[in-house]
Amino acid sequence: MISLKMNRLDVKVEDGWTILEAAKFYGLEIPTLCYNEGLSPYGGCRLCLVEVGEGPRAKLVSSCTYPVEEGLVVRTDTRRVIEARKMMIELMLSLAPNSKVIQDLASKFGVKQVRFKIRNEECILCGLCVRMCSEQMDGRAIGFQNRGYKRKISTPFDIRSEECRLCGGCMYICPACQLRCQGPQADTAVCNACLNMDPTCLDHYDDLQCWMYDAGRCGTCIRESPEKSAEKEQTSK
C-alpha cells in the first residue's frame, strides 16, 4: 500500500494505481476527457490536471497517467489547476464548438467565452477512437498522422482501411463529433439535431471523419453536404 495526501486528506491506495484512480476511490472529482476505463491512459487532453508537490517545486501533472508515489502531496482544486483546466476547455471549444461533451464541460467549469479563432475541426485529437479501434476491437484501422499543428487522425494512406470492420466504435466513443454520430434516435439521442436542423459539423466535414468510409450504411445520420452532392452530380454528367 502507498500512503499519500490528497486535498489534505491522508489516504492509502494500492501500489500501481494512478492519481486519478486513487481520487475516484476516495470520491474526489477530477474531470477527464481522453481517459476511458476500458482503454489505456493516454494523457493527451490535459483536462485531468492536478497539482503535485509543494512549494516552488509544485507542478501540474495529468492524473490519469501519473502513478501514486509514497508521500506524494496531491491537490485537485488549486487556483493553478482551475485556471489551466479552464484554458484547456477553452482551447477544446475553439476546435469543436459543437460538441455536447465539451459544451457541458464549459458550462460546468464556467468557461463563458472563446477568445481564439474558431476552427471547427470537430476533433480534439484525444486519441480515444485510435485506442478504441486497436485495444477493444483489435483493429488497426486508424491512427495519428504527422506531428505538431499538422497532426490528424486518419486511416493509412487516407483510404478505406481493410482492417476496418465497420463497427462504429470510433464514432461511439468520440467526444467531439457525437452530433453527427448519435443518429436519428428520437428517444435516446441528446440533441437530434439531424432530425430537425442541419448540424454544422455536417457542412464542414461531410464524410471526412467517418473512418469507415462508408457514410450512411452504419445507420447514423451522416449524409452528403450540399456541395458534395452538387459536385457528384457534376461529375456524373
Residues engaged in binding ligand SF4 (CB under 6 A): 123-129, 153, 173-177
CA neighbor of 156 nearest in space, from 130, 135, 132, 126: 130
Q: Is 49 in the site for other proteins (CB under 8 A)?
A: yes
Smallest distance from ligand SF4 to CB 71, Å:
26
Binding partner selected for residue 183 from ligand FES, other proteins, ligand SF4, none, CB under the kind-specific 5 to 8 Å limit: none
Check if the beta carbon of residue 175 is closer than 8 Å to that of residue 33. Answer: yes
Residues that bind ligand FES (CB under 6 A): 32-35, 43-48, 62, 64
Q: What whole-number distance in Å separates Cα of residue 161 and Cα of residue 139?
A: 10
Binding partner selected for residue 48 from ligand FES, ligand SF4, other proteins, none, CB under the kind-specific 5 to 8 Å limit: ligand FES
Q: How many CA atoms lie within 13 A of 186 on its CB side?
A: 2
Render the burial of 193-218: b for 16+ CB within 10 Å, e for the rest.
Answer: bbeeeebebbeebbbbbbbbeebeeb
- Return phi, psi of residue 167, to 5°: -75, -25
Q: Of the two residues 125 and 167, which places its CB atom closer to other proteins in the complex?
A: 125
Give the footprint of other proteins on this chain (CB under 8 A): 42-46, 49, 59-62, 65-67, 69, 80, 83-84, 87-88, 91-92, 94-95, 115-117, 124-127, 144, 146-151
